[in-house]
Amino acid sequence: MVLIVVLAGVLLAYDPFAFFGSRGGDLPWNQLERIVMRGEPVPAPSAEQPSITRMLGFSTDAMLEDEGRGKMGMVIRPDGRIEGNWAAEYEPKPGINYQVVKSRFRGNIDPSRIYKGEFGKDPSRLYFITQGKLMIMETNSETQVMRMVKGHIYVRGWLDTEYNATGEIIITSDRKSYKSFSWEAKGKERRSIFELLK
């Protein structure tokens, strides 16, 4: 028992997040093998999953509980590739303003992951995962100090056979601490990415 306590203390000393979720398998940076490299084909959805024969566009609000966290837009192409962006300006706490000045993400669908919910598995839902980089300008209204914060953005979620999507936006600067925002939207056919926010 003493040995276990000592070992835990040593692990925490070298990696304070070892037991607190940042290495959890469900976090998106631990699933990057699901993102298909450029030039390689994205696996097609199964017969049970939604068929994507035309470009689908999604435009919606990002939410933190009942507070808005900007707008998210993305498209899913017939080849399974995904791209999008997130734009936001908000105050995470009084006196601090965040303005997202750059945020783009890319990824793909992943038919191999099976949805598991409160009522069991649902093989008809289609998983997708993306990653990208972001830059946030942080302004402190009391000190008038501004700084640029660089980080990573991950957008992922599930698409049902009616083309309704639910998902989350996860942002992090160090892949240890992170923030997660939820979103939901219905996909609409688009002829080009320029129609995304119409």
Alpha helices in the chain (DSSP H): 2-14
For 39-97, the pLDDT digits (tens) are 999 999 999 999 999 999 999 999 999 999 999 999 999 999 999 999 999 998 999 99
Q: Give the global pTM.
A: 0.84
Per-position pLDDT tens, the chain of length 198? 544 444 444 333 333 223 343 445 689 999 999 999 999 999 999 999 999 999 999 999 999 999 999 999 999 999 999 999 999 999 989 999 999 999 999 999 999 999 998 889 999 999 999 999 999 999 999 899 999 999 999 999 999 999 999 999 999 999 999 999 999 999 999 876 666 544
Domain ranges within the chain, ordered by starting residue: 25-195
Q: How far is CA 192 from CA 40, 75, 82, 114, in A?
A: 22, 9, 13, 30
140 strand-pairing partners:
96, 145
Tell how far CA 130 is from the center of its chain: 6
CATH domain 25-195 topology: Porin (2.40.160)
